[in-house]
């Protein structure tokens, strides 16, 4: 759950650190979400990401809707591309 007080930190544009919001979709039974052995770590379902840098502020302190496009799936490849962009000083 995103706590309202955290939202302004996610909107900062010129921070050294780049903050992203990751929403993870989990199965109805949380126990079915993660399976681990010595050989593997398997997470069921997926996560979506969004950069809120530069997003408009809001006066609403009760509920905040953040829209994350379904094509912004958080994958290892995407994470690597994000890190490369951060190194180059580019926006996410």
Domain that holds residue 81: 4-88
Question: From CA 45, how far away is CA 39, in angstroms rounded?
Answer: 20
From residue 24, alpha-carbon distances to 59, 76, 86, 91 in Å are: 26, 14, 22, 22
Average pLDDT over residues 83-87: 86
Determine the pLDDT at residue 48: 95
pLDDT (mean) for 39-53: 89
Whether pLDDT at 8 is above 60: yes
The pair of three-digit structure tokens given for residue 10, joined into one six-digit string: 């996610």
Structure tokens given for 69: 């496009």
What average pLDDT score do residues 29-44 get? 89
- The structural domain count of the chain equals 1
- What percent of the chain clears pLDDT 70, i.e. is strictly above it? 80
Evaluate if residue 38 carries a pLDDT over 90.
Answer: yes
User: Which pLDDT band holds residue 32 (cuts at 50, 70, 90)?
Assistant: confident
């Amino acid at each position: 759950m995103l706590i309202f007080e955290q939202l302004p930190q996610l909107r900062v544009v010129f921070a050294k650190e780049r903050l992203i919001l990751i929403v993870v979709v989990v199965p109805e039974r949380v126990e079915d979400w993660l399976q681990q052995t010595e050989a593997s770590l398997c997470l069921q379902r997926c996560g979506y990401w969004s950069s809120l840098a530069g997003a408009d502020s809001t006066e609403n302190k009760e509920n905040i809707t953040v829209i994350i496009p379904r094509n912004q799936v958080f994958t290892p490849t995407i994470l690597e591309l994000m890190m490369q962009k951060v190194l180059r000083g580019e926006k996410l």
